[in-house]
Amino acid sequence: GGKHTPSSISHPRLVEIAMAIVQLKTGETMTQEEVVEFCRNAGLAKYKWPEKVVFADVPRSLTGKVEKPKLREKYCA
């Protein structure tokens, strides 16, 4: 279990591909396949399933909101 942030990244042949940035709870583990399975079981359309999964700390503002510009700068540049 943990928190996840959907995003997209540029792709050389495609316009964008789906990406998930996942912050796991301390002591938890998860694979990319398990993240995709979670998306499938949640009923997400297949084109929304992440082709890339990054396990990392997700930066948050003082109010607890995900700082998406920082994520894009780090992972989508």
Which structural domain range is residue 49 located in? 2-75
- The first and second tokens of residue 20, run together, are 């998930």
How confident is the model over 2-24, as pLDDT tens digits?
Answer: 555 556 556 566 567 789 999 99
pLDDT of res. 62 = 96
Q: Which residues contact 71 (CB under 8 A, 6 or more apart)?
A: 5, 7, 21, 58, 59
Q: Report which DSSP code applies to 60.
A: B
Q: Whose structure tokens read 């894009």?
A: 72
Coil vs helix vs strand at 41 = helix
Residue 26 sits in a domain of what CATH number? 3.30.300.30
Number of domains into which the chain is organized: 1
- The first and second tokens of residue 8, run together, are 């997209």
Are the beta carbons of 10 and 16 closer than 8 angstroms? Answer: yes
CA distance 72 to 29: 24
Quote the mean pLDDT of the chain: 86
